[in-house]
């Protein structure tokens, strides 16, 4: 990530990267209650780029805010338009987009009282999330000693910042001993998800993914389910254990950051041949055709913007 001359949309205004600051007594900084999204924009043909499933991401941001009782003081339409403007102002043809709604400064106790709700949207270049070669060769993963929080621990359908402390610890544990990523089990010992990804396996020709109990309702997960249906691949939303994962023919992660990343090894055990399998490669190829605008069947998932005519900043102050 670079601070370059990029702008950030900050509570309705475009400000320079270095001006987008918060106070050290910001409520969310102390207690972790905020909601966020991860969104990607891809270069398509000609001079156009497109944001993938932007409306779905904005809808989920506001659904998370509703769950968390965070009242965002901007409409969904304003957030969507601000995202597209930001990409053009920053002249980004491909980007990772991070909206976050958080509780600002004021009261510092656990009850936030009437502290203001802030909405910020940043966009910047970001390549392959899980490292060079991850998409083509696959990655290694470890079953974490940390458990994915259950539905009675906290609200698992919301992308709440504090939820991800669990993921950070799992990620650090896995990478500290040489693995690329961690896989968390649920409270009953079934495979749940990665630290920021949903997980799929292929076994005996059936594509399986954990049901929406304690896992996040991933937008890329939903994308893969719809692609699989269109490809005639049998799919089951079904619990599976770590040992079924070990003997799967294929496995992969899905997520906005991870896209569709094959898993070649878990806990030192090769998954299938240790190479991305045919189902994974088919889904991955179709996914990139869709997000890069080459698949007309799912073209409605793309929000196009013109990269050839960058916008000028309308305002710049806090």
| CA angle, residues 26, 218, 1, in degrees to nearest 5 | 50
Joined tokens for residue 254:
């899905």
Q: Which long-range contacts (CB under 8 A, 24 or more apart) does 172-180 make?
A: 173/142, 173/144, 173/145, 173/146, 174/141, 174/142, 174/144, 177/142, 178/140, 179/140, 179/141, 179/142, 180/130, 180/131, 180/134, 180/139, 180/140, 180/141
What is the Cα–Cα distance from 18 to 296, expressed in whole angstroms? 40
* Helix intervals (H) in the chain: 27-31, 54-68, 76-89, 134-137, 164-176, 219-231, 242-246, 278-291
Q: 269-270 and 7-10 as β-strands: parallel, antiparallel, unpaired?
A: unpaired
Contact 193, 148 (CB under 8 A): yes
Residue ranges of E strands in 89-205: 95-103, 117-124, 139-147, 181-185, 191-194, 198-203
Percent of the chain that is helix, strand, coil (3-state, to 5): 30, 30, 40
* Set 159, 169, 171, 282: catalytic member: 159
Joined tokens for residue 272:
């299938």
Beta bridge partners of residue 43, listed in sequence order? 49
What is the Cα–Cα distance from 286 to 301, expressed in whole angstroms? 13
Concerning whether 159 is annotated as a catalytic residue, the answer is yes
Catalytic residues: 159
């Amino acid at each position: 990530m670079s601070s370059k001359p990029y702008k950030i949309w900050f509570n309705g205004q475009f400000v320079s990267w270095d001006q987008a600051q918060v106070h050290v007594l910001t409520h969310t900084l102390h207690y972790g209650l905020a909601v966020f999204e991860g969104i990607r924009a891809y270069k398509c043909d000609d001079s156009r780029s497109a944001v993938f499933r932007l409306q779905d991401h904005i809808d989920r941001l506001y659904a998370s805010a509703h769950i968390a009782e965070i009242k965002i003081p901007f409409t969904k339409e304003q957030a969507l338009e601000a995202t597209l403007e930001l990409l053009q102002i920053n002249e980004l043809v491909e980007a990772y987009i991070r909206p976050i709604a958080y509780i600002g400064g004021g009261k510092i106790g656990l009850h936030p009282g009437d502290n203001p709700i802030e909405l910020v949207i940043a966009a910047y270049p970001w390549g392959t999330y899980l490292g060079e070669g991850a998409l083509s060769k696959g990655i290694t993963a470890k079953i974490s000693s940390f458990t994915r929080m259950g539905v009675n621990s906290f609200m698992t359908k919301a992308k709440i910042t504090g939820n991800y402390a669990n993921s950070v610890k799992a990620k650090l544990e896995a990478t500290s001993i040489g693995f690329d990523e961690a896989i968390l089990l649920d409270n009953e010992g079934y495979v749940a998800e990665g630290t920021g990804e949903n997980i799929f396996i292929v076994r005996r020709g059936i594509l399986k993914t954990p049901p929406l109990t304690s896992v996040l309702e991933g937008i890329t997960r939903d994308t893969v389910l719809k692609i699989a249906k269109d490809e005639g691949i049998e799919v089951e939303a079904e619990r599976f254990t770590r040992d079924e994962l070990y003997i799967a023919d294929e496995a992969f992660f899905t997520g906005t950051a991870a896209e569709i990343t094959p898993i070649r090894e878990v806990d030192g055990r090769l998954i299938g041949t240790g190479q991305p399998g045919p189902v994974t490669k088919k889904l991955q190829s179709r996914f990139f055709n869709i997000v890069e605008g080459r698949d007309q069947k799912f073209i409605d998932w793309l929000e196009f913007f013109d990269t050839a005519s960058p916008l000028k900043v309308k305002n710049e102050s806090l």
